[in-house]
Every structure is written in C-alpha cells, then in structure tokens.
Structure 1
C-alpha cells in the first residue's frame, strides 16, 4: 500500500500546500481520500484524472471535497472520457459539490452513500468506518489490505475513539490543526498535534502522519508536540510526501 499526499492543509490552501487530499495505491488501484481545495493540480502530477478508480469523502466541508468538481470536469471534458467514478460519502456530504454543474456531470460518477459504522469493499481495500466528532458529521476510516492497515481521522482527530479506529495500524493519518492547545470554541471538534501523538501511542501504530495543519501552524512544533507522547516515526503531510507500507 502506498500513500501519496496531495495536500495536508486545513481550512484554505496556501501557495505551498493544498487542503486535505491523499492518494492510496494498492496494486495499481488508486483510491482518493478527501479531494479538498487545490489538490487536483497535485493529483495530475501523479497521473491523468482518469487514473483515479474511486473517491472517499469523510465529510462535507469544502476543504475535504471541493476538488471533486474539477476532478469530474477533467474526466468529463477529456478527449477520452473516463468511466463513471465511484464516490463513497456519508449521506448528504457530497451533495453540494456534486450539484455545482447541474446535470452536466451526473453520468460521470456513481454515488454510494453510507452510514458511519458501515464496512464495505472498494477495489482491493476493506473499509471500516467510524463516526468521529466534528462540527458536521464526520467519518474516520480504516483501510485494510491483507495485514496492512491505514487509519484516517478526517477532521475527527479530537475524538477518543481515534485510538480504537487505529489500534495496531501501520499508519495513522491524523488531523492535528493546532500544536498543543485547542481554542475553547473548537475543543472536542478539532485536535492538536499533542492529542494526535497521544492517540497514536494508545493505538500502538507503526507511524504517525500529522495533517490538516492550520496555515500558520509550524510543522516542526507540531512534530515536537506529538513526540511528547509518541516515540515512533512522525511526519507532516506535505504535497509530494510518499510513504510505502509493507
């Protein structure tokens, strides 16, 4: 299993980094997690739009799904149009972005809505989903291929159940908007890197990747905060980061 980071920023893109977007490749099957703002340009550096085999959306905030629209446009308007793209999303989460072009793209995707807690198969991946707290309904997911597991929080990194979702996983891709303190108005809805490290340690994961950093969050400070609790490998999700899982 290979993880390629397309973007790892929270809220809005910067000149250096798009928002959430992660390409997971297993034996040539490419699953796109959360096509957030400004991730499609990075995606197209890794292959044409038609090379994406399926999309998973964790929740309906635009920094996690807005670039589903340009992805579908690129597939639709290509000289060699791609087959309909399977899109997996919690009920209603993708409705706004899928409606942007009216009826133009309706034949370019097949929407599979699911409920948090559902388990299903996408290509070679077994997906285990779990509701994780956020300002809107948000779903964390565990991707399983054989003995390799990758867990992703969406924007639910503050939820204590992250440790259960990620238990024993090879990699935890964890929302860590802040460094070591979450503002009162976001407590329980967004996480800091220190919390991500605590969840990674409790889950005994192989490695931790911090993502959804606020645009002004210092990456080195985030790593140091996570290291207070987790002694394994820690990295920050930046465009172009590639991690191969055995």
Structure 2
C-alpha cells in the first residue's frame, strides 16, 4: 500500500501547498481520500483524471471536498469521458460541492455511494471500516486494509476513544492535528492537537504517526515534538509530495 500526500493544510492552503488530500494505491487501484482546496493540480502531476478509480470523502467541509468539482470536470469535459467515478460519502455531505455546476452537467461523471458511519465497505482491493468521529459536522474516519497493511485516517475529529479503536495496530495513523498543544475552548470537542494525536497513536499501538491538517502558520517541528511527548514511534508531517510506503 502506497500513500501520497497531495496536501495537508487545515482550513485553507498555504502558499505552494494544498488542503487535505491523499492518494492511496494498491495493486494498481487508485483511491483518493479527501479532495480539499488545491489538491487536484497536485494529483494531475502524478496521474490523469481518468486514472482515479474511486473517491472517499470524510466530511463535507470544503477543505476536504472542494476539489471533487474540478476532478469531475476533468473527467467529463472531454471527447472520451471515462466510466462514472465511484464516490463514497456520508449522506448529504457532498450536496453543496455537487451543486456548483448547472443541474445535470456532471451527473454522468460519478456514482454517489452514501453510507452510514460504522459501515464496512469494499472499495477495489481495500477493505474499509468507517467510524463516526466527533466534529462540527458528521465526519467518518476510515480504516483501510489491503495486502496485510492498515492505514487509519481520522478526517477531522475531537479526541475520542473511537480514534484509538479505529487505529488499533495500524501500520500508519494519519491524524488530524490542527493545533500543537492547546486547542481553543470552542473547538475542543471538534479538533485535535498534535500532543493528543501522539497519545492516541500510542494507545492504539500504531507503528507510525503522520500529522495532518496543521493550521497554516503552525510550527511543524513543534508539532512533531508535542506528538513525540506521548508516542515513541516515528512521527512525520503530511506535506504535499510526501510518499509513504506502508510495506
């Protein structure tokens, strides 16, 4: 299983970067997990739009799904459009982004598979377990298993024992860590710090931890240090272009 970071900024993309977007590949199958602002240009540096096999969106905030629109445009506004793209999301999460174009313009470009958090999904070679994690809108964390390797991804979430369950024994936990240490009081139920992510990775027994969704301007070195305070494994930062081989 191969993970390529298309972007890892929280809220909006810093100069030269992109928001949450992750390309996960196994046995020639390409799954996109989230497609936030500015991720499609980075995707198209690696593969063509028609080479994407499926998309999974954790929740409906635009820094996680806005670039689904240009991806679908790139697939349908051509002389030889590919087969409709399977798109997996929670009910209603993509209503806004799919309504950006005139009615019917993109209807042949995708097949929407809405699921209930907690469902198990088969997406190509991936066995996917989803879990509802606490955020300001419904958010589905996902555990992907293929080739005896496990990748767990939180989407955006407040601290929760469900994160630990989702990441139990994972080869890699890709964890939202918007803040280094102190999460503002009005966001404590909905977002996580790097320090909390480190503790959760430790409790889960995850082999590696990759921090993502850092707020623009965050000191990445400080975030890594905060995560390492409670976790004795390898800690990295999700930045555009990073490739992680789970094997």
Shorter-chain TM-score category? over 0.9
Does the alignment pair 1:237 with 2:238? Answer: yes
2:68 corresponds to which residue? 68
2:208 corresponds to which residue? 207
Secondary structure of the 1:86 match is strand
- Whole-Å Cα distance in 2 between the matches of residues 28 and 234 of structure 1? 27
The answer to whether the 8 A contact 1:157-1:174 is kept is no
The CA deviation at 1:79 is 3.6
How does 1:122-137 map onto structure 2 within 5 Å? 122-137=123-138
Gaps of at least 5 residues in structure 2 are none
The answer to whether the 8 A contact 1:24-1:32 is kept is yes
CA RMSD of aligned residues (A): 0.8
Secondary structure of the 1:161 match is helix
2:92 corresponds to which residue? 92
After TM superposition, where is structure 1 displaced by more than 4 Å over at least 4 residues in a row?
none
- Whole-Å Cα distance in 2 between the matches of residues 13 and 71 of structure 1? 18
- Whole-Å Cα distance in 2 between the matches of residues 30 and 157 of structure 1? 29
The answer to whether the 8 A contact 1:154-1:174 is kept is yes
Residues 156-185 of structure 1 deviation map (CA, whole Å, 9 limit, x = unaligned): 152231011000000000000000110001
Secondary structure of the 1:34 match is strand
Q: Evaluate the alpha carbon distance shift between residue 124 and residue 162 of structure 1 in structure 2; reply closer, same or farther with a 3 A threshold.
A: same
1:182 corresponds to which residue? 183
Does the alignment pair 1:228 with 2:213? Answer: no
The CA deviation at 1:146 is 3.6
- Whole-Å Cα distance in 2 between the matches of residues 78 and 235 of structure 1? 39
Residues 39-92 of structure 1 deviation map (CA, whole Å, 9 limit, x = unaligned): 000000111111110000000000000000000001111343121000000000
Count of residue correspondences: 246
How does 1:1-16 map onto structure 2 within 5 Å? 1-16=1-16
The answer to whether the 8 A contact 1:157-1:176 is kept is no
- Whole-Å Cα distance in 2 between the matches of residues 34 and 95 of structure 1? 15
- Whole-Å Cα distance in 2 between the matches of residues 174 and 59 of structure 1? 15
The CA deviation at 1:240 is 0.3
2:17 corresponds to which residue? 17
- Whole-Å Cα distance in 1 between the matches of residues 200 and 53 of structure 2? 31
The CA deviation at 1:16 is 2.3
Q: Normalization by structure 1: what TM-score?
A: 0.98
Q: Normalization by structure 2: what TM-score?
A: 0.98
